[in-house]
Structure 1
Amino acid sequence: MPENPSGRPRTPEPEFPQQEQEHPGWTGPMDPPPDHGELSYRGCGQLTDCKALLTGGDSGIGRAVAIAYAREGADVVFTYLPEEEKEAQETARLVTDAGRSALAVPCDIREEDQCRDLVDRAVAECGRVDVLVNNAAYQMSQPDGISAITTEQFDRVMRTNLYGMFWLSKYCLPHIPRGGSIINTTSVQAYKPSPHLLDYAMTKGAIVTFTQGLAQMLAPDGIRVNAVAPGPVWTPLIPATLPDTREFGKQAPLGRPAQPAEMAPAYVFLASRNASFITAEVVNATGGTPLP
């Protein structure tokens, strides 16, 4: 793919080939392939010796954050679902290739015991958690509206997107030192919900509120809590959960979806000392969609 003057590859724009996958989706079959920053991200020591715990690190935004954190000097513990083992091992390889340690942990964050065990493993491996990134999420498009959202789907969305974030924040806090931070992944859906993603959008709005409330709670302890609100991002979740991928992201003012690599710098910034006076904020990375 030809490069532009900034040195980054040109980013693919719709129309994309129509493609479908079973949930949770995999990187390999995607056309065009997602860019996680494998060839483009260059670190400059912003997270030297940081210990990071990241959910959903096997692919998509999570893999891009893992790569960026490692190249900035962080050791990374990250979660994945058992069926994503191959994807997780590729993320681990990219982290270790950057000279940092990687621990890939199969974990269903819908289960409190697994969240508690995950934190215990991270602390045993790293001694502390400087940065917790609550990134894993579940969505499933329901074009037929609320009547098509089953209780099983609703429960899965809530437990993945909210319960897991709550439990991991709760159990990590005793191990986050002053100066550490929590970074949550919300979405443009929190402010401009798509009807076919009603339950998912609900959780993303709740994440904004959780972020702002927890930030005020933890400010006296010197722990910052912020969030990133991506717009459309080209990840395996898209062909695995949306019925039509051909014009995905075209609705953004930039006319395309983001690549995961374009999200990672926001997570690096919020984890770094450069953001030491920033808490209770949401970094909007929406491709031009104005948000409140």
Structure 2
Amino acid sequence: MAEDKFEKIDKEIEPQEQSHQPGSEREMSPEPIYDDKDYKGSGKLKGKTALITGGDSGIGRAVAVAFAKEGANVAIAYLDEHDDAEDTVKAIESYGAKAFKSATDIGDSENCQKLVDDVIAEFGGLNILVNNAGKQFPQDDFLAITPDQLMETFETNIFSMFYLSQAAVPHMQKGDSIINTSSVTAYRGSSSLIDYSSTKGAITAFTRSLSQNLADKGIRVNSVAPGPIWTPLIPATFDAEKVGKHGGETAMERRGQPSEVAPAYVYFASKDSTYVTGQAIHVNGGDFITS
């Protein structure tokens, strides 16, 4: 069987590190595949407006581009990776969609409310909320997890989902959707990412519970649980040795690319999933098989 483009780029990735979170896509070598040219949009999200947190790079950027291909206008929120964010805006606009970017800390409830207000002011509505931003701080020693680390991880990874969803729901209508990024670690755990994995477990429960709460409004709530994906968070989190081995433990023996995850978000955002809520799609290369 011929080697595909994803296998090829995986073999080109050398051990590397970044010194800051959540990391920069421009500093990665090679950069992730966020725009799969084989993916052709068909207007599934025409006339829709989406807000994606962590939309400057990684999975968020790939989702932004896929949504733009499907006809949606896209707002991205990010922390301080201004160059990456500008690259994403250009990629969105290259497909004829309108783009909006906002640098903000979504761990703060007032920032989340302002973010949603700004998106409404820019586009006149909001149909799709993708809660995707996240942080992780490995600690092999459980006792080394400090209250400050615990709070920062929870504020970014799960508190923000409450804040943003509460701000967005009053503007959403029947047929709109909320999509949360969970993780394979919510299902198999991680000995060195206990606080991160705990937030991802909370996201899974949040998704299931909120889906029931909003079902009578016709707003669907689902999650995507990625496995090892080549995003800036990886070299910004782990040492070079672990980065070099990243994804090798999966059944497919490689890491995934952001563009391989994005179609799951398109499915949940579109009419293709009108009878699906409270569910998770696992995109993990066989890293963990759920029952």
TM-score, normalization by structure 2: 0.95
Query: Cα distance, 1:13 vs. partner?
Result: 3.4
Aligned residue number for residue 251 of structure 2: 253
Q: Which amino acid aligns with 2:247?
A: G
Structure 1 residues 116 and 130, CA gap change in structure 2 (3 angstroms):
same
Q: Which amino acid aligns with 1:136?
A: A
Structure 1, 23-32 or 132-141: larger mean CA deviation: 23-32
Q: Is the 1:14–1:249 Cα contact (8 Å) retained in structure 2?
A: no
Alignment size in residue pairs: 286
Query: Cα distance, 1:27 vs. partner?
Result: 1.2
Distance 1:9 1:234 in 2: 11
**1:78-89 aligned within 5 A:** 78-82=76-80, 84-89=81-86
Q: Is the 1:14–1:246 Cα contact (8 Å) retained in structure 2?
A: no
Q: Which amino acid aligns with 1:30?
A: M
Q: Is the 2:6–2:256 Cα contact (8 Å) retained in structure 1?
A: no
Q: Is residue 133 of structure 2 the alignment partner of residue 136 of structure 1?
A: yes
Any idea what the Cα deviations from partners look like across 1:120-165, whole Å, max 9, x if unmatched? 001111121111000000101112x212212111111000001101
Distance 2:283 2:36 in 1: 20
Aligned residue number for residue 165 of structure 1: 161
Aligned residue number for residue 31 of structure 1: 29
Q: Is residue 232 of structure 2 the alignment partner of residue 236 of structure 1?
A: yes
Distance 1:217 1:11 in 2: 44
Q: Is the 1:52–1:75 Cα contact (8 Å) retained in structure 2?
A: yes
Structure 1, 9-18 or 193-202: larger mean CA deviation: 9-18
Distance 1:55 1:37 in 2: 18
Aligned residue number for residue 269 of structure 1: 267
Where 1:240 maps in the other structure, the secondary structure is: helix
Any idea what the Cα deviations from partners look like across 1:166-213, whole Å, max 9, x if unmatched? 100011000011110100000000011111111000000000000000
Distance 1:117 1:67 in 2: 24
Q: Is the 2:7–2:254 Cα contact (8 Å) retained in structure 1?
A: no
Q: Is residue 219 of structure 2 the alignment partner of residue 220 of structure 1?
A: no
Query: Cα distance, 1:16 vs. partner?
Result: 3.9
Q: Which amino acid aligns with 1:27?
A: E
Structure 1, 245-254 or 34-43: larger mean CA deviation: 34-43
Query: Cα distance, 1:11 vs. partner?
Result: 4.4
How big is the alpha-carbon RMSD for the aligned residues of Structure 1 and Structure 2?
1.5
Distance 1:253 1:15 in 2: 19
Q: Which amino acid aligns with 2:158?
A: L
Query: Cα distance, 1:38 vs. partner?
Result: 5.4
**1:272-283 aligned within 5 A:** 272-283=270-281
Q: Is residue 198 of structure 2 the alignment partner of residue 199 of structure 1?
A: no
Structure 1 residues 9 and 283, CA gap change in structure 2 (3 angstroms):
closer
Query: Cα distance, 1:237 vs. partner?
Result: 0.3
- Which ranges in structure 2 are unaligned for 5 or more consecutive residues? none
Structure 1 residues 9 and 160, CA gap change in structure 2 (3 angstroms):
closer
Among all aligned residue pairs of Structure 1 and Structure 2, give the percentage whose two residues are the same amino acid.
Answer: 44
Q: Is the 1:177–1:223 Cα contact (8 Å) retained in structure 2?
A: yes
Structure 1, 36-45 or 118-127: larger mean CA deviation: 36-45
TM-score, normalization by structure 1: 0.94
Where 2:9 maps in the other structure, the secondary structure is: coil
Distance 1:267 1:280 in 2: 14
**1:99-118 aligned within 5 A:** 99-118=96-115
**1:45-64 aligned within 5 A:** 45-64=43-62
Distance 1:155 1:14 in 2: 37
Q: Which amino acid aligns with 1:268?
A: V
Give the structure with the larger helix fraction. Answer: 2
